[in-house]
Amino acid sequence: MAQDLRQAITSVAGRPGPLLSAYLSVNADIPENQRRAYLVRLRDAMNDEGVPEGLQQRVREYTEDETHPGARTLAIFAEEDGLFEIYRLQVDVPESFRWGDPYVAPLMLALDEYEPYGAAVLDAERFRYFVVSPLSTAHGDEEMKANGFREVNVHPSEPYPRGGGSTDLDPAGRKHQSNIHTFYKELAGLTRDVTFREGVQRLILAGPRERTAEFRRTLPNDLQERVVAEEHVDLGAPEGELLDRLEAVRERAEHEREKELLDKIRESGVRGLDETVAALQEENRVYHLAALWELEADIRWCDNDQLAIHDVSSEECPFCGRKTRLRTLTDVLIDLAAARGARLDFVLGEDENTETLRDEFGGIAGLTRF
Ligand SMILES: [Zn+2]
């Protein structure tokens, strides 16, 4: 699926333009998006960028019709006559708008950096598997659910009493531990298949504590390594509640992952704007970047060399002598990271990670190869 998407992106990137590339934050948890204020930002940005009126109208109609976008970011690519594609990203990407050449770097980065999560939800007789990935799209008979989760159907061969509340099945007394064990063994194999097929890197197990612990022991080693959390949940709870719990676990696991990244950077990395940009751009030794989501800074850029210029006052490029321009640091980081093959994690919110990054690392830092 990610592979198909990469092809779609490549085909957008290869178009001559002009086209609209827009990354619109629609995340309802971000205060700036209350009462769908993003619609106003989109309208203003399209005006500023000089998007033709007819196209503006089409994009506005599409976005205004969506009262609940079911995503954190909408990635929009639209031509005046032709291409009109909207991707729903389950990740936060810095907002940007461009009319002209296609701008796909933020989407590429989102694909590279956000690992799909899987969640196996189980008890003694039921099993469900959910996947959430940066671009969750439901296919076949699947259904998109809350928080970008979609359910993947897993069918064990044994006719176990699963979920449906069948009446001809016996109460718990008859289900011996060995039956459950056999059930789990088969499910472990199926879970492994689904996990690898879906490209899931990080696995959450959810259910009654003793069941998830047992299931975890049944998993093959290469799958055990991907388990990032065991969460005690009641499968009888409403589905919306369950998915909210899973999303909370996912966010906690992401927070931990960020913290580990920052710890590693502290041990062997670069920090601060000058040092990080030099290591990324000139020395090409940064493979994983962490940057504050709200980096309020501009930097000089040479379009001809596709390079950041360290001296913010130099209107002429020191390499080729052409005119430079000011760009937001965030845009420049996205382009440099994409060009150098570095992962880029934006750290947002207000927590210990953003504090570390802001106060200790000066807003931007990177993990280095050597
Ligand atoms: Zn230059």
Instruction: Provide the pLDDT for residue 113.
Output: 66
Q: What CA–CA distances, in Å, run from 321 to 6, 302, 303, 310, 315?
A: 36, 9, 11, 15, 9
What spacing in Å lies between the alpha carbon of 278 and ligand 1's midpoint?
16
What spacing in Å lies between the alpha carbon of 230 and ligand 1's midpoint?
52
Please give the backbone phi and psi of residue 113, each rounded to the nearest 5 degrees, phi first. -95, -25
Instruction: Provide the pLDDT for residue 159.
Output: 56
What spacing in Å lies between the alpha carbon of 319 and ligand 1's midpoint?
5
In the chain the first and final C-alpha atoms are separated, in Å, by 34
Q: DSSP character for 359?
A: I
What spacing in Å lies between the alpha carbon of 310 and ligand 1's midpoint?
12
Instruction: Provide the pLDDT for residue 160.
Output: 58
Tally of helices (H runs) and strands (E runs) in the chain: 11, 16
> Rounded CA gap, 340 and 241, in Å?
41
> Rounded CA gap, 220 and 224, in Å?
6
Reported for 12-15, long-range contacts at CB under 8 A and 24+ positions apart, including other chains, are: 12/77, 12/83, 12/85, 12/102, 12/104, 13/102, 13/104, 14/102, 15/79, 15/83, 15/102
What spacing in Å lies between the alpha carbon of 299 and ligand 1's midpoint?
14
What is the pTM assigned to this prediction?
A: 0.77
In the sheet where 96-100 sits, what is the strand order?
84-89, 73-78, 19-25, 96-100
What spacing in Å lies between the alpha carbon of 298 and ligand 1's midpoint?
17
What spacing in Å lies between the alpha carbon of 111 and ligand 1's midpoint?
30
Instruction: Provide the pLDDT for residue 161.
Output: 46
What spacing in Å lies between the alpha carbon of 318 and ligand 1's midpoint?
7
DSSP codes, 161-199:
--SS--TTSPPGGGS-HHHHHHHHHHHHHHHHHHHHHTT
Instruction: Provide the pLDDT for residue 168.
Output: 40
Instruction: Provide the pLDDT for residue 114.
Output: 75
- The residues, any chain, with a CB within 8 Å of residue 227's CB and separated by 6 or more, are 203, 204, 205, 216, 219
What spacing in Å lies between the alpha carbon of 331 and ligand 1's midpoint?
18
What spacing in Å lies between the alpha carbon of 123 and ligand 1's midpoint?
61
Q: DSSP character for 324?
A: P
What spacing in Å lies between the alpha carbon of 344 and ligand 1's midpoint?
24
Instruction: Provide the pLDDT for residue 167.
Output: 39
Instruction: Provide the pLDDT for residue 141.
Output: 61
Instruction: Provide the pLDDT for residue 153.
Output: 86
Low-confidence ranges of the chain (pLDDT < 70): 1-5, 112-113, 136-144, 158-176
Residue 32 in contact with residue 25, Cβ under 8 Å? yes
